[in-house]
Structure 1
């Protein structure tokens, strides 16, 4: 059995502190206007320690989005049930995304600040671009499966995926603006009903 060295454990701890702090600071100011010294102050670390942990702001941004996307995908993969219809499985995946973002408020606010989730992901910075693109592709595959399996009204998968992402942005942004005035399950239920009507038509 291998034992993690003290240096490795310390580096892992610093890495997590920096990422958590960066998530907050990026949510406040966006990527371009966030300063490394602000990240260091929020992390409770010296600027030198931050630079020993990450080469720069771009590396922090990329690591943050990769970590969050890995966690998000893990939560989505555990949603839904084999016995469900294609549409129900898709909606379960959307609910998992919404719950993940609700459970990670700093990451949600970071993405709200960026805006245009469905339309401007190709303009995102660094790894965020590939993260958002992968998310759109995953939803598009779910849309196509639902159309094929449930004989739903035909829709181009990328368009359907963009509509789902737009709904996520609209409902979650409103929830944050309204200071989280209701349980996230209520928000998710409203959004799922809307998406069901939109994707299934009169069915």
Structure 2
């Protein structure tokens, strides 16, 4: 009976213990990563207010509700936080780009998705991404790693635009120049965007997409019609609700 229990992984067998250890390690890793992201957001807020050079580890620890000693269990210094910030942001952007490229839709729709994800990552999801413009502050080895990943992302967006040119959806042009203009505009938004300002990150993304993608289209009128249709949906629903309330009151 004991042999049968061991063979099926029951009764505290090595197999059962191994599964339990893996689950425990998985939970610990997720908890550790979640805490690092919390610290990242706190550091991002401090970088925005104080500037990178003026922000110390004690400032970040206080913003993250940690003791300075505990903070060093997660990061060796603020340069490590800055590197994690940029590396994490690039991973999210590359994942969004890969997802958009697999979609069966127009090049303009794919580019809009990439731009929206890019800005959401910078302005919404990871507030510490505001520090992404400070790559020069990092040690050379970390700079080279991030630049290689950034170039891979840029090349992917360039291929997306080049595909739109080949199908005739976008006007012919220098795809590399277009990508740099688009990404430069998106990246600079972290310098002026305010979460408490009049526009949300989603509204900023829509505005950028409307202006920048329209200039690429071989037939801009199609893009305008699609924009109008998108904006008309909530108006139509609201009008229908008003009409329904009128009918109910008339009864």
Q: Is the 8 A contact 1:75 1:100 kept in 2?
A: no
- Following superposition, the deviation at residue 196 of structure 1 comes to 2.4
Q: Structure 1 residues 8 and 108 mapped into 2: Cα distance closer, same or farther (>3 Å)? A: closer
Unaligned runs of 5+ in 1: 116-120
Structure 1 position 200 matched with structure 2 position 226 = no
- Following superposition, the deviation at residue 81 of structure 1 comes to 6.7
| Equivalent residues in 2 for 1:82-121, closer than 5 Å | 82-104=103-125, 106-107=127-128, 109-111=130-132, 114=133
Residue 48 of structure 2 corresponds to 27
* RMSD (Å) for aligned C-alpha atoms: 3.4
Rg larger in structure: 2
Residue 234 of structure 2 corresponds to none
**Aligned counterparts of 1:156 and 1:16: Cα–Cα separation in 2:** 37
**Aligned counterparts of 2:101 and 2:155: Cα–Cα separation in 1:** 18
Q: Residue deviations 1:133-179, cap 9 Å, x none?
A: 343233222222222233633322221111111332466755x2594
Structure 1 position 191 matched with structure 2 position 199 = no
Residue 24 of structure 2 corresponds to 4
**Aligned counterparts of 1:171 and 1:13: Cα–Cα separation in 2:** 26
1:147 pairs with 148, 151, 165, which one?
165
**Aligned counterparts of 2:28 and 2:200: Cα–Cα separation in 1:** 40
Residue 49 of structure 1 corresponds to 70
Residue 39 of structure 1 corresponds to 60
Q: Structure 1 residues 189 and 48 mapped into 2: Cα distance closer, same or farther (>3 Å)? A: closer
Residue 65 of structure 1 corresponds to 86
- Following superposition, the deviation at residue 73 of structure 1 comes to 3.0
Residue 197 of structure 2 corresponds to 180
Q: Secondary structure at the match of 1:52?
A: coil
**Aligned counterparts of 1:178 and 1:53: Cα–Cα separation in 2:** 27
Q: Secondary structure at the match of 2:73?
A: helix
Q: Residue deviations 1:98-129, cap 9 Å, x none?
A: 23334237235445xx48xxxxx7x4644554
Indicate the larger mover: 181-190 or 82-91.
181-190
Aligned residues: 194
2:178 pairs with 160, 165, 178, which one?
160
- TM-score (ref. length: structure 2): 0.61
